Structure 1
Amino acid sequence: MGNYRLTTLGTNTALLDLPFELPLAQWPRERLVFVPRGISRHVVRFVELSGEVFAIKEATDRYVLREHRLLRSLAEASVPVVEAYGTVTERVDHAGEELGALLVTRHLQFSQPYRALFTGRSLPHLRTRLLDGLAALFVQLHLAGFYWGDCSLSNTLFRRDAGALAAYLVDAETGEMHETLSPGQRDSDLQIATMNIAGELFDLQAAGLMSTDVDAAETALSLRPRYDSLWEELTSDLIVPSGENFRINAQLRRLNELGFDVSELAIKTVPDGLRVRFGTHVVEAGHHQRRLFELTGLRVQENQARALLGDLSRFRAKWESGTNQTIPEDLAARRWLDEKFYGTVGLVPPQLRVKLPDAELFHEISEHRWLLSEKNGQDVGRAAAVASYVGTVLADLPDTRVDLSQGPPTEEFAPIFD
């Protein structure tokens, strides 16, 4: 029997049944599950254990421990990354030969690699949403002091988020954590990302997944202005003229709308007013997520939370208008959750409901109902909207569930060139 050292942040003891004494590439196929993923320079396998799906990557002890530490640091800074679950180091096989270490991360449910987004029925304006999501991720990483060093679409996973795409960092092995990043470090990161993204878009064109009429280089270059615009809004000082302190609250609300909280303000008097610096080095994403969770217990993406809070607000206002009474927000939230939210997604056939998280389903059905009602000149009603959405949209969406059936090794599903 081989030897190893297993360290985890959870208590899934089924991990002990895995063949850690074998190189990852030699693990029996019956232990593996199929998960679409991006391209990796390392061997990666996925396993299902006691209802949980884990990604396992093989590298040296040094790289595995370092990447695990970086992923944990980014998660503590509320940056969207895959969850580092554990490490397996000091591995030795039956013959006493040393084996590479293993990094264990939780599979990000309902996520897709970028190539999968271009197959089947894709989102409208997919390239725009893809780069917007990546730019937002870059800003959050840089605010946390993280230099990625090898950003690419392949090192990122994407989740649908109320019409947008939320990006998550998957591969942190080339990254470096600093107190803050210099403009030169941020610029270098963006240059590397632009070159990598251009190459990946050319790859999509070669595979017939993206029109050759699209200028791949120009599309990749558009990452920079998206990043610069968001970075400027989050980090620039605000000059407040005398007597116009309301502008500070207005900017705080704007940052909240972008999904960020500010924990610190630095205010300095200047001629005829104030210079306000927001504590963006400790800005944390998830303002709307936390508010929705407090009211409903739902854990969703940031844009989804913003959309659901808006729907809840309209539900409450309509209730108050009908009763001519003030309805407490928590009471309205409980009734909205039962009658509106679960009442809607509960109409979706179970075999199709699993394609998307409930929050995304609710948002897309609401948007579909609005479009149908506009077309028909009257409200079509919830049941008709759900039936239409299921038949014309949801049925054609790719299934993001993990395939628990036995299949070939993961690499065979992620060719660099077709």
Structure 2
Amino acid sequence: MKILNYITKTVWVLSLVSLFTDTASEMLYPIMPIYLKTIGFSIVLIGVLEGFAEALAGLSKGYFGKLSDNSGKRVPFVQLGYSLSAISKPMMAVFIFPLWIFFARAIDRFGKGIRTGARDAILSDEATAESKGKIFGFHRSMDTFGAVLGPIIALIYLYFYPQQYQTLFYIAFIPGVLAVLASFLLKDKIKPHPIEKKPTSFFSFLNYWKTSPQQYRKVVIGLLAFTLFNSSDIFLLLKAKQAGLNDTYVIGVYIFYNLVYALSAFPIGILADKIGLKKMFIFGLSLFAIVYFGMAFSKSLFSISIFFFIYGVYAAATEGISKAWISNISDKKDTATAIGTYSGFQSICTLIASSLAGLIWYQFGPNVTFITTAAVTLLVIIYFSFFIKDKIIKNGTPI
């Protein structure tokens, strides 16, 4: 019970908002490529659509994080961001023209870009340096439960109404609306001193890289080096499919992975506060390397299930932990900018990573893809272990 005292009303509300939103998004994730193909999208066009959407989200995260810090406001960015994502769901089903689909998908990703930095800054403000792991871990747990509920709802619906994809987009609007309504329970904290508002250009967040603490730059370089070789989860699912699992088992292991992730993120966050965020992150990277080495040679449902279990623990030990770590090594007044800038670069690197993985897969096969990724991860582990020290930034000074 003492641990739950750290979870304030604001953290609960933000976590519920994320749960509802992820339920809506993950409800559509398994069927999105199938739906797009049924309305005439080619594989190439689907790739262009997703690349465009992720690039937009990536660039906007840094800008809106900077804008949130400069304005001193958090909640309006959260509310607008989640509202745009909710609206985008039924828009995908109203019309099927390619330009309209691009527009709807762009609105969804733009909403993510608007809210990410401000939301994570609120979470950081609700924690102390010693409880960041708990707060971010709890939020990740709730968020990822949505990734469990969403696909389950989609599977049940499609069992009774096969191939009726458009209706699912309207159903996904319901948890999206619940997320928006919950976001109106949030309130910005009154600042003790008025914030001097500054003009913010779209790429002004890039200036933060020059002025940020050295520790921030060193940590983010390591995180981005890992991201450059950490391709989409789709490649793991493709490997599972190639190993002989049918579609039901493939979706099943994806739900299993998210369930493990959701159940372990909070306890791992608690443990991270005790042993240190850096140590926990390195532990997560070690699990990732094990999974990728192992998946290169996995051919049975049992071994694939084991590696997806480990993969869920890896995600819990890195996703929220990395943001908690960044919030501890950046000045409080720049939290949204620091996380937004990292998240923006991360989105771009993820795009490159998936393209690179696809190229290696095509040229040399899946085994080389997974072994290459695991080998690079070992180099990143060495970098974090020997070149990065645990520090906390307070009032612009490392302590």
TM-score of the alignment, normalized to the shorter chain, above 0.5: no
More helix by share: 2
TM-score (norm 1): 0.25
Structure with higher RCO (Cα < 8 A, 6+ apart): 2
Structure whose CA Rg is larger: 1
Q: Which has the higher strand share?
A: 1
The TM-score, its normalising length taken from structure 2, stands at 0.26
